[in-house]
Amino acid sequence: MLSFGAESFFFQFAIKNLKIKIQRTIILPVVLYGCETWSHTLRGERRLRVFENRVLRRIFGHKRDEVTGEWRNLHNEELNDLYCSHNNVRVIKSRRMRLVGHMTSMGEGRGVYRVLVGKPEGKTPLGRPRRRWEDNIGMDSQEV
């Protein structure tokens, strides 16, 4: 039989592992659902990192500072050390490139292919052009 301290530590460790599995199998797929079609911007990338760090802080909790003895939130580097996750931006880019591969392998008669290579008619709005999904594809293919 385990002593109370060891049993409590094991219970806390088991709960953290369960929370990590829930984050990996339920939360992350829900957040990344449909990411292949997103127009990826730096703001969206930052918001995704902030959300992931917020979830990880909820899982791992607070840490007692060695010097002052006060409780504090974990820093981003400490979260990365505790939970080595895949870079979500790379996951998004790889899924986007996989979708483009599927779309280009379709025939010319398919509607999806025509949307991919077609050019819309009409006037463009004033101002700086917004980042389009096609622009992200070009940038992703240059990185690979």
In this predicted structure, what is the pLDDT of residue 89?
83
Q: 5-30 burial by CB neighbour count: b if 16+ within 10 A, else e?
A: eeeeeeeeeeeeeebbeebeeeebee
Taking the C-alpha atoms of residue 113 and residue 105, their distance in angstroms, rounded to an integer, is 9
The answer to whether residue 126 is domain-embedded is no
Q: What are phi and psi of 70, to 5 degrees?
A: -90, 155
pLDDT tens by residue, 128-142: 888 888 888 888 887
Within 10 angstroms of residue 55's Cβ, the number of other Cβ atoms is: 19
Residues in the chain: 144
Q: Quote the domain boundaries for residue 8.
A: 4-118+134-143
The answer to whether residue 83 is domain-embedded is yes
Within 10 angstroms of residue 40's Cβ, the number of other Cβ atoms is: 20
The answer to whether residue 123 is domain-embedded is no
How many Cα atoms within 13 Å fall on the side-chain side of residue 134?
9
Number of domains in the chain: 1
The answer to whether residue 48 is domain-embedded is yes
Taking the C-alpha atoms of residue 65 and residue 121, their distance in angstroms, rounded to an integer, is 61
pLDDT tens by residue, 40-87: 888 988 999 899 888 888 888 888 888 888 888 888 888 888 887 777
The mean per-residue pLDDT over the stretch 32-37 comes to 88
In this predicted structure, what is the pLDDT of residue 1?
47
